[in-house]
A and B are shown apart, each in its own frame.
Chain A
Amino acid sequence: MKKLLSLLVAIAMLLSLMAAATAQSPVVLTMGSWENTAAAVIQEMLDAYKEVSGIEIRFEPTQADQYNAALRLQLDNGTGPDLFYSRSYATGQELHDAGFNMNCSEIPGVLENFAPSSLEPWQADDGIVFAVPVAAVSHVVYYNSAYFEEKGLSTPETFEEFLALCEEIKAFGDMYPLANGIASEWDILECVYLGMLPNYVGGPEERALYEAGSAKMNDDKFLKSLEDFAALTKYFPDGFESVQYGDGPALMATGQAAMFIDGSWSSGTFARMYDFSDIGAFAIPAPEGFTPGMAFHPDYAIAGNSATKYPQEVKDFLAWIASPEGAQNAANHMPQGFFPMINAPITMDDELSNGILGLNEGRTLDARFIWPRMMDLYSAMRSNLDAIAKGEMTAQQAADDFAKLQADLLSK
């Protein structure tokens, strides 16, 4: 009996000890994100932070296409994550306007370590920075370099050479020149057309002219961009109307297409599909006489929840992400093809991603043309591009429609 009693006492003591231990356990923060395919890699980055700070952060991603709605609902009900991925421009700012974001302007390093143009996508009209910029993406043409070598093809320097290259591949008859299609209703606009556009329009200063209405979206530059786009669609696969975004890499991998216009974020997919040496990337070339540009798009930032129970811990993490050491760590654990936005020399060990980042050199960089101010044009522009690809609309008609949409938007 005594034995039993002492055993019970021991168990009770052990239990109370455990309870005390959990009560004093270090703070655990949560991080919401849409990046559910690379969850393991990002958790590694957060684990690395734990080693530095002792603070544990749990990565809790949701389905990418439901992230905005799910996050909004959580924040609305007071169950939001302590840290969350913030989309650039209007979508991210909407949450800030609703009061869910911590003010990041006060976080050490934010104003010093980022270029104003990098902060702008997460900056409200009153100048408050509402998230710490993390990564940008760019748009490039991937190509099967083994095939290029076999056929003696070289990567193009100008858009005219690009078209000639497509024509040459088409003449060989064994592969589609390009694997792009229009069925997913986003990549044709975001990757292909808005990827081409900086070559024609220029950088942020020129974009501002269109946003202010002093330049019209049916001027010579836009018309030329649409004519070139129309020429390019001739080299899409037969039945491109039903080719979805995911079919592109598959067509490349099965040796049915030689090139695919896509985002840098796919470099990991391509590197896994091919031996690295068989895949290359080149910038979407500018036509002769135009200044080469590149869509280098601010993709995501990390925001702090203004209603978090642990404001100091959240601020510490954001300050770390805004520091060169933190950004380097993030870069080490970022999915391939996402480029650090911090103003510091960050090295990445992935060769293909580094190569893609290197394409920025000597080019005018800008976000996707419509993202900052003209997002309302998205679906109308996309549907015009579809019509051009299907041959239902001429470049001139599409340009005139763009100008009309632009005028409607500005008169609002």
Chain B
Amino acid sequence: MRRYGAGSVHPGGFYWQWYLIPALLLYSIFMAYPMIDSVRLSLFAGTTGTRAFVGFDNYSRLFTDPLISKRFLNAFGNTWVFFAFHMLLQNVLGMMFAVVLTNRTMRGRTIYQTIVFVPCTIAVLVTGYLFKLILNPVWTGRILRDAGLAFLAKPWLGMESSALNIVSLVSVWQWVGIPTMMFIAGLQGISDDLIEAATIDGADSWKTFWKIKLPLIMPVVGMIAIMTFVSNFNAFDIVYAMETPNGAPNYATDIIGTMFYRYGVAGEHPTGIPQPGVGAAISTVIFIMLLIGVIPTLSRTRRKED
């Protein structure tokens, strides 16, 4: 009698639906509904109960209003720079650390592993605050000058030319542990036989990496790429912690996340009157961009797994 399912006498084939309901409910209430509602909000103007339907006006303001479009393009560009730092530096460093840390002949691996991973466990506000002090010549200038490193005593976070790069580097420093851990997990899954066979065939470690290790952890690389993309286009906290929600100095570190916060949630200082419609339009645009970026990558890694 028992043919399908968990001890079921009525196979039916649809009993699994019941297991989906809790997740579906939670997802609809806390994810899908707010998202759809924010898309709806982006079609309205006004800050209070008397919201007026304005169609796509908020979107067109995002691209044509002289001030808002200037800020938006600036934030958009800055977000790409911020993302590039993570993609190119954080992930490549993570890969290098992972390869080194999976080297079996190395001593004190766990210690190094901990050192790389510890920053991830510190709250972003704390990291931001500490680096704000460290990078401020008013507080650390004397030490640097005494150490003969006077050229380092510059207001790194206050110069438009360096602020965004420095903030990105701090964020890279903090989060490099995540790709490292995931790459380590991927590399440890590679069978020793393969490496040994390659060594016997005369492949050096350089060749082993490019021809064996990297191709075998490609799915992990794809996943890390998606995670980096999504988390950096939604980034907000590190800039908020280090450079105020204005993206100081002079909007040099303003990214989409901080711009969204200013327009949609808090309003610009000092009036502090938010425009939730514009904020929702910004978040909808980010959402669409993320979809465009994520779907092709996702479907490609999916195909590989099949």
Contact = CB atoms under 8 A, between A and B. Distances in A.
A65 B244 CA distance: 11
Contacts of A91: 270-273
A239 B154 contact: yes
A383 B266 contact: no
Given A69-B274, A91-B273, A241 B155 contact: yes
Nearest to B265: A69
Interface residues of A, number: 37
B294 to A, nearest CB: 30
Contact of B141 (A66, A72, A239, A386): A239
Contact of A378 (B158, B270, B273): B270
A72 B249 contact: no
A184 interface: yes
A103 interface: no
Nearest to B158: A241
Given A241-B158, A242-B135, A242-B137, A94 B248 contact: no
A190 B243 CA distance: 18
A379 interface: yes
Given A68-B267, A243-B138, A386-B249, A76 B49 contact: yes
B157 interface: yes
Contacts of A185: 244, 246, 248-249, 269
Given A90-B271, A94-B273, A240-B155, A183 B249 contact: yes
A375 interface: yes
Given A185-B246, A242-B156, A68 B136 contact: no
Interface in B46-76: 47-50
Chain B binding surface SS class? loop
A168 interface: no
Nearest to B163: A242
Contacts of A75: 48
Nearest to B133: A247
A174 interface: no
Contacts of B267: 68-69
A388 to B, nearest CB: 13
Interface string A171-187: 00000000001111110
B153 interface: yes
Nearest to B153: A239
B47 A183 contact: no
B255 to A, nearest CB: 16
B159 A68 contact: no
A237 interface: yes
B265 A66 contact: yes
B273 A98 contact: no
A238 interface: yes
A240 B153 CA distance: 12
Q: Is the interface of A mostly helix, strand, loop or mixed?
A: helix
B141 A238 contact: yes
A251 interface: yes
A379 B136 contact: no
Given A90-B271, A182-B249, A383-B250, A72 B158 contact: no
Contact of A238 (B138, B157, B244, B265): B138
A256 interface: yes
B268 interface: yes
Interface string B125-146: 0000000100111110100000
Interface string A64-91: 0111110010011000000000010011
A105 interface: no
A144 to B, nearest CB: 16
B65 to A, nearest CB: 14
Contacts of A68: 266-267, 272-274
Contacts of B158: 181-183, 239-243
B137 A98 contact: no
B126 to A, nearest CB: 15
A183 B139 CA distance: 14
B136 A243 contact: yes
A239 B155 contact: yes
B279 to A, nearest CB: 10
Interface-centre pick from A72, A184, A239, A242 (highest chain B CB count, 10 A): A242
A256 B138 contact: yes
Contacts of B136: 239, 242-243, 247
Nearest to A387: B250
A190 B272 CA distance: 15
9 contacts: A65-B245, A76-B49, A87-B272, A91-B272, A238-B153, A242-B135, A242-B155, A242-B157, A375-B271
Interface of A: 65-69, 72, 75-76, 87, 90-91, 94, 98, 100, 181-186, 190, 237-244, 247, 251, 256, 375, 378-379, 383, 386
Given A94-B47, A186-B269, 17 more contacts: A65-B269, A69-B266, A72-B47, A75-B48, A91-B272, A98-B47, A98-B48, A100-B48, A183-B248, A185-B269, A186-B270, A238-B138, A239-B136, A239-B137, A243-B136, A256-B138, A383-B250
